[in-house]
Structure 1
Amino acid sequence: MEDLAPDILRQRLLIEGFFTIDVDGATITRYFEELTSALSLRVYGTPTIFAPGGEGRAENQGYDAFIPLIDSGISLYVWSAKRFLSVIIFTCKNFDAERALTFTRDFFQMTKSAEQSF
C-alpha cells in the first residue's frame, strides 16, 4: 500500500483468529485495560461496547467494541457463535507489535490466528 502521508506516524496491526474463552462485555473491558497497559498506550475514555442483541443475522451476533487512545484507538469485533475475533490496533506512536500479538493470543486463548502489520 502506498504511504500517502509519510510525515504522519501511523502503526496498525490487524489480528484475527479463533478464541476459546467466554467473551462478554466485562471480558472485553478487561482485554482493553490489560492490552493498553502492556503496550504503554494511554486511554482517555471508557470502552464503547455494542452487542446487537438478536438484530441482524444470527451468525454475526457478538460484539463491536472500541477504546479511544490519546494516540488513536483499538477496535475489536467478536463473532460469538463462530468464536472468531478481529482486532485492529491503530496508533500514531510506535508500539511492540509482537507483544500485542502474544498478549492477544494468550488472553483469548486463541487456537489459530493470523496478523498483518501495515
Structure 2
Amino acid sequence: MELFGFGPHLMIDGYHAASEKLEDAALLEDILRDLPRAIDMTVVLPPAVTEYQGLTEDDSGYTGVVIIAESHIAIHTFPRRGFVSVDIFSCKEFDAQHALNYLVEKLDIGRYDTHFINRGKEFPKDLSVVEKILSGEREYLAARLA
C-alpha cells in the first residue's frame, strides 16, 4: 500500500536486550549490512560502527549507521542498560514488522516500544492525496477554532 508523503520512519526503543550483543561491534555491523537487504533497500555506503564513551559507563555504548539509497538506518546501544534505539527511515515502503522481528531476534530484545510515522506529508508524490489530507486537517482545525 502506497502511503502519502516522503516515506515511513520506524523508531524502535528496545529494553532488556542482551548486553553482550549490544557491545558487539561486529554483530552491529553485520546487522547494518544485512537488514537493508532483508527489507529490500540498497546500501550506498558501508556500515560504520563506533564505540563512544558517555559521561558514565552506563551511558557508554556503540553507534552505527548505514546509508541506503532510500535514506538511512541507525542503531544506538547502551549495553549496561540493556537498551537499544533504532531508526529506519526510507523514501519507500518497507515491511516494518519484518524489520522489528529481525532486530528483536538478533539483539535478544526483551521488550520494545515502536513509533511509526510518515514523514514529509506534503511531499508531492501524489498531489491529489496531499490535497485531501491537508483539506481534512484544515476543516478539523477550523471546526475546533470556531
Question: What is the TM-score normalised by the length of structure 2?
Answer: 0.71
1:14 to 11, 14, 24: 11
Residue 97 of structure 1 aligns with which residue?
Answer: 96
Letter in 2 for 1:72: S
Gaps of 5+ in 2: 118-146
If each structure's helix is expressed as a fraction of its own residues, which one has the higher value? 2
Residue 106 of structure 2 aligns with which residue?
Answer: 107
Partner SS state of residue 102, structure 2: helix
**Bigger shift: 15-24 or 89-98?**
15-24
CA RMSD, 1 decimal: 1.7
Letter in 2 for 1:68: I
Q: How many residues align?
A: 112
Partner SS state of residue 58, structure 2: helix
Gaps of 5+ in 1: 1-5
Name which one, 1 or 2, has greater alpha-carbon Rg. Answer: 2
Which stretches of structure 1, 4 residues or more, deviate above 3 A after TM superposition?
A: none
Question: What is the TM-score normalised by the length of structure 1?
Answer: 0.86
Residue 40 of structure 1 aligns with which residue?
Answer: 40
8 Å CA contact 2:29, 2:64 repeated in 1: no
What percentage of aligned pairs have identical amino acids?
A: 22
